[in-house]
Amino acid sequence: MPTNVTPQYRKLEEQYRRASDPEERLRLLQEMMAEIPKHKGTEHVRADLKRKMSELRSQLSVKKGPSSRQTSAFHIEREGAGQVVVVGMTNVGKSSLVRALTAAQPEVSPAPFTTWEPVPGMMLIENVQVQLVDTPPLNEDYVRPELFQLIRQADLVALMIDLQAFPIEQYETSLRLLEERKIVPAPYQERYRETHPDRTGMAFIPTLVLASKVDDEALDEDFAVLEELLETDLPLLPISALTLRHVDRFKAQVFDMLGIVRVYAKPPGKEPDFSAPFVLYRGDTVEVFAAQIHRDLAKNLKAARVWGKGVYDGQTVSRVYELQDGDVVELRT
Ligand SMILES: Nc1nc2c(ncn2[C@@H]2O[C@H](COP(=O)(O)OP(=O)(O)OP(=O)(O)O)[C@@H](O)[C@H]2O)c(=O)[nH]1
Ligand SMILES: [Mg+2]
C-alpha cells in the first residue's frame, strides 16, 4: 500500500476488508478509487482497485443472471472494454447517437420522453468494442432510481446537451440532478471534498460532455461560442448523430478516458494476431497480461519480450513492466 494515502482512504480500506456483501464491497472500492490521488506513484494501486472492481462486477452480474430471476431492464450486463452511459435531458439525441454508432435500435422521436428503459449497444473503436448505453431522460419530476444505479456503476458518463436548445441550462440542470443523487463528475471531486466533508455514498464518475446536433459547419461556429461560454472542467466535444460529424473525436476521447491499452500476444516463432487485441488498462503490467491469458501463465512467468513504443524491438522486460498501447508481447515461462 502506498504511504501517501489519505486517512479517509485508510478508513475505506478498513471497511472494505470487513465488508462481505459484494455490492457493499464494490461501493467501497469505488469510493477508494475516488479518494486515491492520481499520479504515477499510485498507478499500481489504482490498477489493482480496477481489477477488483471488475471482478466484483462480473460476480454481481452472474449472481443476477436469469437463475435469480432478476429481470430489471436497468441492469445492463457490462460487455467489451468499458461501459459508457449516454445521459441527458429529453430530446437531446441520446437514442439517435446510440442508433448511429451501434447496431442497437432504440426508438427516436421528436416528441419528448421517448425512451423509458436503457438500451445497450456495442460501439467499435478501431479494433476494440465498447458498450454504449442509451438511457431514459433526466428530468425534474421523477426518474427511476435504477437509472442512477446504472450511472454509478458505469465506467464513463457521456453527458449530452443539445446545441440547438439551451445547452448551458441543460448542462447545469443535468449536473444538479445527478448531484442530488450523489453522482459527481470525477474532476469535481476535490472541490466537492471542500464543500461536503461527509461524502458517504458519493460516486465520482469520469464524465465527458457531448454537445449534440452539430450537423454542419455553421453549427461548428455555434459550438465555438458554447465552448467560450460553458464553464466546465470536463472535456466538451461536438457531435452529430445525423451527419456523423466529429464521431471520431468522440471515440478517441472515450478510448483515452477508459484508459484502454491494447496488447497483442505473440506465440514464440509466430506472428501476433493484430485483429484480436487483449484489452488492458493504463498501468497494467506484463504479469496482468499473462494472467488474462491463463492464471498459471502468470504464476510461471519468467520474463517477456516486447515490441512497441517504449522499448527496442524484442527487448526483454520483467513481469512488472507496464505495457503500452500497441505492444506485442512474447511470454516466457
Ligand atoms: N439535426 C439533428 N437532429 C437530431 C440529432 N440527433 C437527434 N436529433 C433529433 O432530436 C430528436 C430527439 O432525438 P432522440 O434521439 O429521440 O432524443 P433522446 O435524447 O433519446 O430523447 P428521450 O428518449 O426523450 O430522452 C429527434 O427528432 C431526432 O431526430 C442530430 O444529430 N441532428
Ligand atoms: Mg431516447
- Per-residue pLDDT of 230-279, as tens digits, reads 999 999 999 999 999 999 999 999 999 999 999 999 988 899 999 889 99
Q: What is the 90 CA–ligand 1 centroid distance (Å)?
A: 8
- pLDDT for res 198: 79
Q: Whose CA is nearest to atom 22 of ligand 1?
A: 90
Which one of 86, 108, 116 would you pick to mutate in the ligand 1 pocket, going by the greatest count of ligand atoms within 8 A of its CB? 108
pLDDT score at 215: 97
Contact 331, 296 (CB under 8 A): no
- Predicted TM-score (pTM) of this structure: 0.81
Please report the pLDDT score of residue 35 as a whole number: 87
CA gap 93, 109 in Å, rounded: 9
Q: What are phi and psi of 119, to 5 degrees?
A: -135, 120
Q: How far apart are CA 296 and CA 15, in angstroms?
A: 31
Q: Are 64 and 70 in contact (CB under 8 A)?
A: yes
- Please give the share of the chain, as a percent, with pLDDT higher than 90: 68
Could you say which DSSP state residue 19 is in?
A: -
How far apart are the C-alpha atoms of 87 and 292, rounded to whole Å? 32
Could you give phi then psi for residue 51, rounded to 5 degrees?
-65, -45
Q: Are strands 128-134 and 119-125 parallel, antiparallel or unpaired?
A: antiparallel
Q: Which atom number of ligand 1 is nearest to the Cα of residue 89?
A: 25
Provide the pLDDT for residue 62. Answer: 65
At residue 295, the pLDDT reads 82
Beta strands in the chain (DSSP E): 83-88, 119-125, 128-134, 156-162, 183-185, 203-205, 207-212, 236-238, 260-265, 278-281, 303-307, 315-317, 327-332
Query: How far apart, in whole angstroms, are the C-alpha atoms of residue 285 and residue 320?
Result: 5
pLDDT at 265: 95
Which of helix, strand or coil describes residue 184?
Answer: strand
Return the bridge partners of 328, or none. Answer: 264, 307
Low-confidence ranges of the chain (pLDDT < 50): 68-69
pLDDT of residue 196: 83
Residue matched to cell numbers 437531446? 92
- Which residues approach ligand 1 with their CB closer than 6 A? 90-96, 108-110, 112-115, 137, 212-213, 215, 240-242
